[in-house]
């Protein structure tokens, strides 16, 4: 990795960490609209008849309203490999989700990466690594284009609310086939403002979730294609994939669980 790329990565990581819970809460709010929109109207004192709420799309339910951490023992760490590839440069990180209460019953699962613990809003039923990945992506889009983060949040939300196809697929866990579901969206493909950031017009987001994977998330990935929408030779790819889990970590004396430096042994999903 070149010095310039490394410096940009450090700046991006710091910017992401500084946004904290407020930015993540904004993402959750936008992802769960129209409920969030109604709450905002009520808070601002809006009056008058409102349009009927559109049903939440199956893709939104699968990603954000599913209790992915059910069945996970307390003090379990889920490890994910984060790989950012912009040929010829490549960087990696390990992202950890610590499930503090059994099944995340207290909505107290935490996410950490190389920058430390990432602040998240409470009472999320989903695996928070999904929101971590999307918020990280949105921060990157904002930095790369100079656009407004709320705009990119809305484009992703609209793409998921449009009921994209949920495809049944099969992944490999320790060489064994496991049933999974895949969602693919291209939020900027028909964006009327796409001419402002043409490199990202065909950017593709892929979500692969499987009940047979601890935490429910097998792979989260974005691809920015090369010239003429060449996805075989992408300009940039970012992927977060499940690596394994370590169960029954012992909480430290002051109540903030710690993680081992070495990756834990556990089932691995093939990419």
241 or 15, which is more confident: 241
HEC per residue, the chain: CCHHHHHHHHHHHHHHHHHHHHHHHHHHHHHCCCHHHHHHHHHHCCCCCCCCCCCCCHHHHHHHCCCCCCCCCCCEEEEEEEEEEECCEEEEEEEEEEECCHHHCCCCCEEEECCEEECCCCCCCCCHHHHHHHHHHHHHHHHHHCCCHHHHHHHHHHHHHCCCCEEEEEEEECCEEEEEEEEEECCCCCCCCHHHCHHHCCCEEEEEECCCCCCCEEEEEEEECEHHHECCCCCEEEEEEEEEEECCCCCCCCCCCCCCCCCCCCCCECC
Token code pair at residue 233: 């030779």
pLDDT at residue 128 is higher than 50: yes
Q: How confident is the model at residue 44 (pLDDT cuts 50, 70, 90)?
A: very low
Largest Cα–Cα distance in the chain? 58
What number of residues does the chain have?
271
Tokens 């394994």 correspond to 244
Q: What pLDDT score was predicted for residue 49?
A: 53
Average pLDDT of the chain is 80
Closest CA to 64 of 268, 244, 216, 245: 216
pLDDT at residue 34 is higher than 90: no
Q: How far apart are CA 258 and CA 247, in angstroms?
A: 12
146 or 48, which is more confident: 146
Question: In this predicted model, what pLDDT tens digit does every residue of 176-206 receive, in sequence order?
Answer: 899 999 999 999 999 998 889 999 999 999 9
Q: How confident is the model at residue 59 (pLDDT cuts 50, 70, 90)?
A: very high
Global pTM?
0.77
Q: Which residues are CB-neighbours of 130 under 8 A, at least 6 positions away? A: 63, 64, 207, 217, 220
Token code pair at residue 52: 């009927």
44 or 101, which is more confident: 101
Closest CA to 99 of 222, 216, 188: 216
Q: What pLDDT score was predicted for residue 12?
A: 43
Contact 171, 177 (CB under 8 A): yes
Q: How far apart are CA 4 and CA 40, in angstroms?
A: 41
User: pLDDT exceeding 70 applies to what percent of the chain?
Assistant: 70
| Mean pLDDT along residues 253-270 | 46
Q: How confident is the model at residue 174 (pLDDT cuts 50, 70, 90)?
A: confident
Q: How far apart are CA 86 and CA 6, in angstroms?
A: 12
Tokens 């990945």 correspond to 133
């Amino acid at each position: 990795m070149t010095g310039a790329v490394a410096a940009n990565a450090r700046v991006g990581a710091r910017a992401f960490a500084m946004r904290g819970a407020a930015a993540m809460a904004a993402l959750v709010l936008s992802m769960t609209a129209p409920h969030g929109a109604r709450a905002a109207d009520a808070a601002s004192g809006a009056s008058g008849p409102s349009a009927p709420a559109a049903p939440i799309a199956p893709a939104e339910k699968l990603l954000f309203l599913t209790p992915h951490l059910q069945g996970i023992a307390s003090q379990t760490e889920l490890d994910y490999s984060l790989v950012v590839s912009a040929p010829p440069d490549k960087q990696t990180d390990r992202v950890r989700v610590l499930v503090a209460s059994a099944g995340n019953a207290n909505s107290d699962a935490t996410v950490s990466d190389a920058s430390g613990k990432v602040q998240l809003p409470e009472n999320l039923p989903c695996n928070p690594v999904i929101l971590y990945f999307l918020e990280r992506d949105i921060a990157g889009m904002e930095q790369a284009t100079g656009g407004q983060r709320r705009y990119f949040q809305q484009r992703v939300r609209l793409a998921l609310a449009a009921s994209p196809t949920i495809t049944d697929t099969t992944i490999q866990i320790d060489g064994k086939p496991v049933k999974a579901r895949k969602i693919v969206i291209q939020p900027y493909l028909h964006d009327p403002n796409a001419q402002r950031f043409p490199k990202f017009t065909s950017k593709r987001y892929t979500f692969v979730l499987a009940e047979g994977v601890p935490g429910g998330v097998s792979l989260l990935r974005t691809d920015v294609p090369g010239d003429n929408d060449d996805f075989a030779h992408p300009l940039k790819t970012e992927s977060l994939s499940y690596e394994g889990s370590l169960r029954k970590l012992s909480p430290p004396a002051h109540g903030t669980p710690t993680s081992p430096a070495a990756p834990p042994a556990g089932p691995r999903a093939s990419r």
